[in-house]
Amino acid sequence: MGLTFPCEIISWHVLPAVRREIASYLINEKQVTRKTVAKKLGLTEAAVCQYLKHKRGGSHKFSDNDQRKIREMADMLLNSDKGFEGMCVVCKEFDASGQMLAEAGVKRI
């Protein structure tokens, strides 16, 4: 098995799930259009639709605390273009315990 960096695991597992949660929150709770969500996330409307139908983003469940952070980031993204600055912080916090890496079979060095 080759070397797998933690950021790779995060990008494969966490980011799609975060995008799913952001899209769902903004569309279902904030009544933002799919077109606007797609633009804010840098996605196509079709991709947003797939996130809403859980065809993308996996089945990862976030803790209540993680959900709160995702919603804060979604609100920040909606109200400015600074949401992506929060993405790295959120991803690091999601895997501070190493749980995501362990589930993916990657050991910390």
Tell me the pLDDT tens digit for each residue of 21-35: 999 999 999 999 999
Does some domain include residue 109?
A: no
Does some domain include residue 108?
A: no
Does some domain include residue 17?
A: yes
User: Is residue 51 predicted with pLDDT exceeding 90?
Assistant: yes
Tell me the pLDDT tens digit for each residue of 52-92: 998 988 877 888 988 998 898 899 888 876 656 666 666 66
Does some domain include residue 24?
A: yes
Residue-range definition of the domain harbouring residue 85 = 6-103
pTM confidence score: 0.79
With contact defined as beta carbons under 8 Å apart, do 87 and 18 qualify? Answer: yes
Does some domain include residue 38?
A: yes
Does some domain include residue 26?
A: yes
User: How many separate helices (H) and strands (E) can be counted in the chain?
Assistant: 7, 0
Supply the angle between the helices 34-41 and 15-24 in degrees, to the nearest 10.
Answer: 150
Does some domain include residue 93?
A: yes
Number of separate domains in the chain: 1
Does some domain include residue 21?
A: yes
**Phi-psi category of residue 42: left, alpha or beta, with phi > 0 → left and psi -120 to 50 → alpha:** left
